[in-house]
Amino acid sequence: MTVTPDRPTPTAAADSARPTIIDRFVSANREYAVTFQDGGMDARPVQKIAVVACMDARLDLFAALGLELGDAHVIRNAGGVVTDDTIRSLTISQRALGTRSIALIHHTGCGLLGLTEDFRRELELEVGQRPQWAVEAFVDLDGDVRQSMQRVRTSPFLLHTDDVRGFVFDVHTGLLREIK
Ligand SMILES: [Zn+2]
């Protein structure tokens, strides 16, 4: 096989022919849409709840919490941390879309447990710019859940802070442990 300079080598061609994960998303979505049924719901969550959770790939919130499509708002970030942007989403969730309850879910083996604010300093050294955000790393999982509940309960923007509960999800057993 001849290879012209403006063509990829056979190896590169083979690589580019291999579907990427996003290519797989696109084909999986075509299959999904074949049997997809519009439930006719509007944007307000049926169960009037917002869940704030870590982005961890082992945390399947819908299965773990018995949620159905349309039931809940799900707000996820690294650590399931209550940042200003989390409060922004919760405020919209409650004031514009009618949710009342908030569940916070951290988990064992979280990637943030091994990090410190050194991450931020090292990043600044590397790129020459200090990030606007805090890493929000923590060493005390239960303590961080309590801190997150406190941030939610003391937010002046939220309408409903009487049903705020926090949990640690165990990635090995699949069980939630409530933090009081
Ligand atoms: Zn995590």
Q: Is the pLDDT of residue 46 over 50?
A: yes
Rg (CA), the chain: 21
Q: Is the pLDDT of residue 72 over 60?
A: yes
pLDDT at 138: 84
| Residue 76 Cα to ligand 1 middle (Å) | 10
Range from 98-112, 130-144, 164-178 carrying the lowest mean pLDDT: 130-144
Task: Give the 3-state secondary structure percentages of the chain, helix then strand then coil, rounded to 5.
Answer: 35, 15, 45
Instruction: State how far the Cα of 109 lies from the Cα of 169, in Å rounded to an integer.
Output: 10
Mean pLDDT of 143-151: 96
Q: Is the pLDDT of residue 74 over 80?
A: yes
pLDDT at 15: 64
Would you give the DSSP letter of residue 129? S
pLDDT at 11: 54
Q: Give me the residue spans of the domains in the chain.
A: 41-179
Give me the residue label for tokens 């083996």. Answer: 109
Range from 14-23, 38-47, 72-81, 132-141 carrying the lowest mean pLDDT: 14-23
Q: Is the pLDDT of residue 1 over 60?
A: no
pLDDT at 17: 82
Report CA-CA distances (Å) from 41 to 24, 38, 67, 81, 93: 28, 8, 15, 29, 16
Q: Which amino acid is at 46?
A: V
Q: Which amino acid is at 66?
A: G
| Residue 136 Cα to ligand 1 middle (Å) | 11
CATH tag for 41-179 (out of 3.30.70.2190, 3.30.70.2660, 3.40.1050.10, 3.40.367.20): 3.40.1050.10
| Residue 148 Cα to ligand 1 middle (Å) | 14
Mean pLDDT of 101-120: 92
Instruction: Give the confidence band of 6 by pLDDT, cuts at 50, 70, 90.
Output: low
For ligand 1, a single-atom ion, which residues have Cβ within 5 Å?
54, 56, 110
Within its chain, how far is the Cα of 58 from the centroid? Answer: 11
Q: Which amino acid is at 176?
A: L
Q: Which amino acid is at 98?
A: G
pLDDT at 2: 37
Q: Which residues pair with 77 in a beta bridge?
A: 54
Instruction: State how far the Cα of 74 lies from the Cα of 52, in Å rounded to an integer.
Output: 6
Give per-residue pLDDT as tens, 50-68: 999 999 999 999 999 999 9
Q: Is the pLDDT of residue 38 over 60?
A: yes
Q: Which of 75, 31, 83, 37 is nearest to 54 (CA)?
A: 75
Instruction: Give the confidence band of 4 by pLDDT, cuts at 50, 70, 90.
Output: very low
| Residue 107 Cα to ligand 1 middle (Å) | 6
| Residue 77 Cα to ligand 1 middle (Å) | 8
Q: Which residues pair with 168 in a beta bridge?
A: 106, 177
Q: Interhelix angle for 84-95 vs 141-153, to 10°?
A: 50
